[in-house]
Structure 1
Amino acid sequence: MSKFGTSQPITRLEDSRFLTGKGRYVDDIAPAGALHGFVLRSPVAHGDISALDVSDARAAPGVHLVLTAADLAAAGLKNAMRFAVVRNRDGSRAAAPPRPILAEGRVRFVGDPLAFIVADTPAAARDAAELIVLEIDDRPAKLDLAPGGETLHPEAPDNIAYDFAMGDEAATEAALAGAAHVIRHTSHDNRVIVNSMEPRGCYAEVEGDRLHLAFNGQGVWGTKGDLVSWFGLSPEQVRVTNPDVGGGFGMKGMGYPEHFLVSHAARVLQRPVRWMSERTEAMLSDNAGRDLVVTTTLGFDADLKLVAFHTDSIANLGAYVSQFAQNIQSSLYSKVLTGTYDVQTYHFRNRGVFTNTTQVDAYRGAGRPEAIYALERAMDFAARELGVDPLDLRRRNFIPSAAFPYRSATGELYDVGDFHRVLARAEAEADLSGFPARRAASEARGQLRGVGICYYIESILGDPEETATIEITTTGARVYVGTQSNGQGHETVYAQLLHDQTGLPLDSIEIVQGDSDLIAKGGGTGGSRSVTVQGMAMRATADTLIAGLTGFLAADMDREIAFDAGEGVFRAPGSNVVVTLLEAAARARAAGRAELAKVTETRKLPGRSYPNGCHVAEIEIDRETGATRVDRYTVVDDFGNLMNPLLAEGQVHGGVAQGIGQALTEHVVYDDTGQLLTATFMDYGMPRADDTPFIAFHTEPVPSTANPLGMKGCGEAGTVGALAAVANAVQDALWPLGLRRVDMPFTPSRVWAWLREAEAIAAE
């Protein structure tokens, strides 16, 4: 195998253009002369619109168009966005109140879009927005996660959007009643703002009778379908593209009002229109992540084996149902509900609540980090309550390696796994035997020290089918893929895969993505699906390409032909006849067989893969200030076969950093009127470099049987494991002080308050 093929840790090919300023981001490539859009947003969280007069704004200098909900209706356009709903526990359909593109009659969160102004410059658009007469009659803001409060939508009494359940409630209650030990733990998974490096943006232009929308998202086909449906156009009349994308993390994987508004404005004005979010605007309007409270009840027998598992959670949806929101903390959460543990008796209930806050939707992991966080916090809490080693309690309850393939309680078919082996490696790499000495050294300096582990498992999500087209050109190959990179390094990994099969130089391989005109369909990027699904389709396409050209050359040259992947040439055994791949494609085209040089294949995964692994965090807490820092961090992952270990490690590092950020610094705060108090980087605690320690990354691969490459996705695994590892380490440090309930985020002020609470308890 070439040193540039799969399993080789080469640096990213795309970084050269990014680091030299040659990236093609949406705000860089908007058409010259494009008009600028600005969104007027609600300044209050909840109220009835009594006046919205835009006449002065329309007459302002440089203004070309002002849109309100009334204007959309006048154009015959539906003022509503698409989203999915779940079924309630009684089988009824969940509440589905319309989510307007522009607020109509009432506003429901600070940042709710009210009007869209299009002008020559951003300044002119903002100035015109100041001229709009807006009057809102305030209503009380509903902000807590309990049922009840001021009603946001008549379709959702008590603000309960849905009441979802899985499992056998009666059997679970009976098993818990008969259990030797019952442990109950409640955790709060705090709300975070995604804050991708590149804020959301888009532009639209009209090309003849066609509409072109470019936006920085995670796939083009869902948005294309939305625009086709909304405008009543044919699919051929709509082109959607994703250029380079500076981070997505799930937040850019769904539709937003601006996509519709920019597109409509471009069609009305017959001129290009662009819109780019500013940071505070993004913090007000981007879909947020997490924000739920989970109570986990574990039942153990006398040997500390799990006999029953019950989860009751209540999740914040925000003001409206976002595209995937109802599924995130219900069906997606359930994919890894019981984690890596061998328990079949369970019940899971999840309710979604409307509040006067920004919508909550997918954020790195989308339900699986939330499920693993609650479970691993509960397992660690149980170990401490039962007086056993947290590692030992997990070992007693792991699914044994001989039991695979294993059907989990919620119906997931785990294909392979060796959790004992991975945990043993993590214990050794983290030097847990040396922890007592490190704790003693910290205490000598007046610091508290704790260690926490999390054993996670993740279910790969998304469309299991993908298509790839490989075209051999005169200089190399062009590969058309249905996924969309937003920082993962797809161009490098896919080039490595094709190089491995064809011998083509990496720099001769071009990856084409994110253009609905060039790629007929695709699943986009999300749920850590890209490498497994797209990689399988690429492999099949390359096999078909080579087989077709081999057969053509054999017939054309009337001799046996074999392909040498290492050299990238066709050979006639027993002779010195050598034909390169590029020459073979040229000969096929010259013979009227151009279809042999451009091949398309579609493949569907036979099953999901389940990345898993163990995270070990060690933290120190300053007794006087409550400042908490992660001092050591060790990861041992089972990602199956790796295409590029260096990129996999980078993905883990990024995920862990986001997990540490949520655990230690990130904290979304609203006041009692629904105003976002953490709407700038001065107020919102984004993790810095000095918040993240060296992350020791190791692998213990068990190749997946659910795809021919033996791979498991890795894009979200770092976050899935980090939350509970850090939280359990903080709990470990504070447990000796009598503190039994600690929750993220572990900011200095919160930890300081707990320490003073412990001092007061000790003084009694």
Structure 2
Amino acid sequence: MTKFGTSQPVTRLEDTRLLTGHGRYIDDVAPKDALFGHVLRSPVAHGEITALDLTGARDAPGVHLVLSAADLSEAGLANAMKFSTVKNRDGSDGAAPVRPILAEGRVRFVGEPVAFIVADSVAAAKDAAELIVFDFEELEPHMELRPGGPELHPEAPDNMAYDWALGDEDATEAALAASAHRVRFEIEDNRIIVNSLEPRGCYAETDGDRLHLAVNGQGVWGTKAALAKWFGLEAGNVRVTTPDVGGGFGMKGMDYPESFMVAHAARVLGRPVRWMSERTEAMLSDNAGRDLVCVAELGFDADYRMTAYRMTSLSNLGAYNSQFAQPIQSQLFSRVLTGVYDVQDVFMNNRGVYTNTTQVDAYRGAGRPEAIYTLERAMDYAARELGVDPLELRRKSFIQPDQFPYKTAVGELYDVGEFDRLLKRAEREADVAGFAARKSAAERAGRLRGLGICYYIESILGDPSETARIELTQSGARVYVGTQSNGQGHETVYAQFVHDQTGLPIEAIEIVQGDSDLIAHGGGTGGSRSVTTQGTALRVTGRALIAGLVPFVEAMLDANDVSFDAAEGVFRTPGSNTVVTLLEAAEAARADGQAALCVAEETGKLPGRSYPNGCHIAEVEIDRDTGVTEVVRYTVVDDFGNLMNPMLAEGQVHGGVAQGIGQAITEHVVYDETGQLLTATFMDYGMPRADNMPFVAFHAEPVPSTANELGMKGCGEAGTVGALAAVANAVQDALWPLGIRRVDMPFTPARVWAMLQEGERGIAAE
């Protein structure tokens, strides 16, 4: 048996169920007699609604209900979605225009919901949608990432959503001016579509006054509160559940209009109603990710140590505020603004812009990948401009181990870190010393080869508290958790936690999640918080369970010094060979009328955030004739603190790196000038494929966190945080000798080929 906290690469328990077709996703669990919902969406990016006649659809065969904004108002329901805002630099609030559930008066992006049709089948609902008379006066859309243009909202003059700032602007400018070396660097961070394997979906049903919504999201409690408020129901009359989920990545971490439409339809009809997005529909309506332009200005002293950092950015919110959009590129970006570097003269300014496109919100990392991408691209650019080795430039400004705990210029308290140790390990594992030979071999084959480095750090986000409930059963334990797995392997790692606390076989431990009736509250999944917060709660709860049973066992054994051996799962008394297993003690307690001793529920709270960090080193090769760019070598050295299951951590890194390479090489959202999405199918949108992925060499170099008892750090988003800059810097390295000084993702063949032609023309001109 293992001791608590030791690293054991246990194979995922849930995989047998999922890989043999026994997963229970939304489409599997929806009631068989449920009616089907279909959303009529706007075909234009910007227009005034001049007519919306639902008569034909309502009279169509098989149709039970057709809803518009007017119907919601008639039912006394607010036609508005929840969202958050940030403060402007002058202290005022960011713009807060209403985001309707169903379009009212105007449509503002292609795919915006206009009407909701409920019918006996999807086909019947789609046929009815064709009978809706939807007329509009098309308006000029605002498609450029800049202030100004056609106005989307009166509440946002010049289409500016907010103007957010952090730091001392004057002190930073003075420090930059006094620097011996000053470098300015501008980059784009391209928009992507999340494309989870399972699209969004939900169903709703009623039982008297009680509402049940099942949705494939990232947590049930926010949705429960939103539905209770919207309908004016007591919280106890709303149940939200989440079955198995085929990927979330932040995109499913908030509510969407469909959940409210489905729930209202089920209440009106007294029948279950289901809805599942189709892929193109998802590409039009799911929250997108990234989409910003950043300018980084770095100051260095004569010895090339960083003295100042200023970052300004313009970010695209899409047509409306989604739930977290305003904070992501402002507050969340700022969490790791200065990365792993010891610099205190810092200023950041982020402005958000509305455009006639789908909303932009959280995507794996939510602000932190964008921050590290900007800083690490700028550091690599500075190294080349200043003629300094990129590794050495970083080393000169690293926060040193004896400086921890370290308070950053933006107020984050980094608990621990040994950045140079990880960088040296990465340098060895990636064989940086042998790169010159590999580069020469590539050149002989007519290919360009580049090496890129990124040293990232990220901040764990979300509620630092989590609750767990452990119930001993006749054969094992049932464990209730407040987080929500979207495919990360939570069932396995949580069972490991409970096994190490109780000695119960892992296969005898059942993990229960995603049911607001069974779990009083929880923080859901997001911000790489799950294992640290839920692990802490499980440890506290496990202790309480054992402590509650000790006096009972002492009475059973007529002893005063009973202890629990977690490795063996037994209670012992010194000097005696008599042992009582945990399940035997539980059975005896139940027989004695003390079943309450078999249950424990506790809340654990982290005293501070942890900060995963590490070094990614990528090598790319570019075909000079075609511009095809391949990532051919990839090395990661990560500090995730203590690892409960190294195999699962490595899997998370592989997935994150794949998404980072996808954005860097193939993924790119393209709208035309009228606001039509040109990349709305997998024929047009470049999802990464297996042959785009190199072997990812993963190495752990743990520095246990002091911000939680487990010494752990989250790992779910770290792969993406490091991958973007590592790949982009490798492309920059490959193209630098051609005189190409700016390279922006994605590095598709056409874009890279155009850069190569520009470089060749520059060389010819010289």
Q: What is the TM-score of this pair, normalised by structure 1?
A: 0.99
| Secondary structure of the structure 1 residue equivalent to 2:676 | coil
State the identity %. 74
Give the drift of 1:593. Answer: 2.1
Give the drift of 1:516. Answer: 0.1
| Secondary structure of the structure 2 residue equivalent to 1:551 | helix
Cross-structure match for 2:588: 587
Cross-structure match for 1:195: 195
CA deviation vs aligned residue, 1:34-54 (integer Å, no higher than 9, x gap): 000000000000010001111
Q: C-alpha distance in 2, partners of 1:197/1:645?
A: 24
Give the drift of 1:209. Answer: 1.7
Cross-structure match for 1:20: 20
Q: C-alpha distance in 1, partners of 2:272/2:525?
A: 27
Kindly provide the amino acid, as one letter, of the partner of residue 102 in structure 1. Answer: L
Kindly provide the amino acid, as one letter, of the partner of residue 372 in structure 1. Answer: I
Question: Aligned ranges for residues 714-725 of structure 1 at < 5 Å?
Answer: 714-725=715-726
| Secondary structure of the structure 1 residue equivalent to 2:504 | coil
Cross-structure match for 1:558: 558
Cross-structure match for 1:575: 576
Q: C-alpha distance in 2, partners of 1:551/1:242?
A: 38
Q: C-alpha distance in 2, partners of 1:220/1:162?
A: 30
Q: C-alpha distance in 2, partners of 1:556/1:639?
A: 43
| Secondary structure of the structure 2 residue equivalent to 1:448 | strand
Question: Aligned ranges for residues 230-309 of structure 1 at < 5 Å?
Answer: 230-309=230-309
Whether the aligned pair in 1 keeps the contact of 2:3 and 2:500 (CA below 8 Å) is no
Give the drift of 1:4. Answer: 10
Q: C-alpha distance in 2, partners of 1:378/1:270?
A: 58
Cross-structure match for 1:424: 424
Q: 1:3 to 1:521 in 2, by over 3 A?
A: closer
Kindly provide the amino acid, as one letter, of the partner of residue 548 in structure 2. Answer: G
Unaligned residue ranges in structure 2 (runs of 5+):
none
Whether the aligned pair in 2 keeps the contact of 1:6 and 1:497 (CA below 8 Å) is no
Whether the aligned pair in 1 keeps the contact of 2:316 and 2:360 (CA below 8 Å) is yes
Give the drift of 1:733. Answer: 0.2
Cross-structure match for 2:475: 475
| Secondary structure of the structure 2 residue equivalent to 1:311 | strand
Verify: 1:599 aligned to 2:604, yes or no. Answer: no
Kindly provide the amino acid, as one letter, of the partner of residue 166 in structure 1. Answer: L
Give the drift of 1:590. Answer: 2.3
Question: Aligned ranges for residues 351-370 of structure 1 at < 5 Å?
Answer: 351-370=351-370
Q: C-alpha distance in 1, partners of 2:207/2:425?
A: 58
Unaligned residue ranges in structure 1 (runs of 5+):
none
Cross-structure match for 1:635: 636
Q: C-alpha distance in 2, partners of 1:558/1:344?
A: 63
Question: Aligned ranges for residues 666-685 of structure 1 at < 5 Å?
Answer: 666-685=667-686
Q: What is the TM-score of this pair, normalised by structure 2?
A: 0.99
Question: Aligned ranges for residues 221-620 of structure 1 at < 5 Å?
Answer: 221-559=221-559, 560-620=561-621
Q: C-alpha distance in 2, partners of 1:94/1:501?
A: 47
Verify: 1:644 aligned to 2:649, yes or no. Answer: no
Give the drift of 1:575. Answer: 1.8
Kindly provide the amino acid, as one letter, of the partner of residue 713 in structure 2. Answer: K
Verify: 1:178 aligned to 2:193, yes or no. Answer: no
Whether the aligned pair in 1 keeps the contact of 2:65 and 2:118 (CA below 8 Å) is yes
Verify: 1:686 aligned to 2:696, yes or no. Answer: no
Kindly provide the amino acid, as one letter, of the partner of residue 611 in structure 1. Answer: P
Verify: 1:663 aligned to 2:639, yes or no. Answer: no
CA deviation vs aligned residue, 1:672-703 (integer Å, no higher than 9, x gap): 00000000000000000000000000011000
Whether the aligned pair in 1 keeps the contact of 2:4 and 2:497 (CA below 8 Å) is no
Q: C-alpha distance in 2, partners of 1:602/1:10?
A: 26
| Secondary structure of the structure 1 residue equivalent to 2:212 | strand
Give the drift of 1:6. Answer: 4.2
Give the drift of 1:305. Answer: 1.1
| Secondary structure of the structure 2 residue equivalent to 1:362 | coil
| Secondary structure of the structure 2 residue equivalent to 1:214 | strand
Verify: 1:736 aligned to 2:737, yes or no. Answer: yes
Cross-structure match for 1:697: 698
Give the drift of 1:464. Answer: 0.4
1-10 or 601-610, which deviates more: 1-10
Q: C-alpha distance in 1, partners of 2:469/2:600?
A: 6
Cross-structure match for 1:10: 10
| Secondary structure of the structure 2 residue equivalent to 1:421 | helix
Q: C-alpha distance in 2, partners of 1:643/1:6?
A: 6
Q: C-alpha distance in 2, partners of 1:479/1:406?
A: 37
Whether the aligned pair in 2 keeps the contact of 1:315 and 1:350 (CA below 8 Å) is yes
| Secondary structure of the structure 1 residue equivalent to 2:391 | helix
Q: C-alpha distance in 2, partners of 1:610/1:496?
A: 23
| Secondary structure of the structure 2 residue equivalent to 1:624 | coil
Q: C-alpha distance in 1, partners of 2:6/2:127?
A: 54
Whether the aligned pair in 1 keeps the contact of 2:606 and 2:707 (CA below 8 Å) is yes
Cross-structure match for 2:712: 711
| Secondary structure of the structure 2 residue equivalent to 1:523 | coil
| Secondary structure of the structure 1 residue equivalent to 2:614 | strand
Kindly provide the amino acid, as one letter, of the partner of residue 588 in structure 1. Answer: A
Kindly provide the amino acid, as one letter, of the partner of residue 568 in structure 1. Answer: G
Q: C-alpha distance in 2, partners of 1:759/1:91?
A: 50
Give the drift of 1:119. Answer: 0.0
Give the drift of 1:573. Answer: 2.1
| Secondary structure of the structure 1 residue equivalent to 2:21 | coil
| Secondary structure of the structure 1 residue equivalent to 2:619 | strand
543-552 or 518-527, which deviates more: 543-552
Q: C-alpha distance in 1, partners of 2:240/2:268?
A: 18
CA deviation vs aligned residue, 1:311-353 (integer Å, no higher than 9, x gap): 0001000000000000000000000000000000011000000
Verify: 1:63 aligned to 2:63, yes or no. Answer: yes
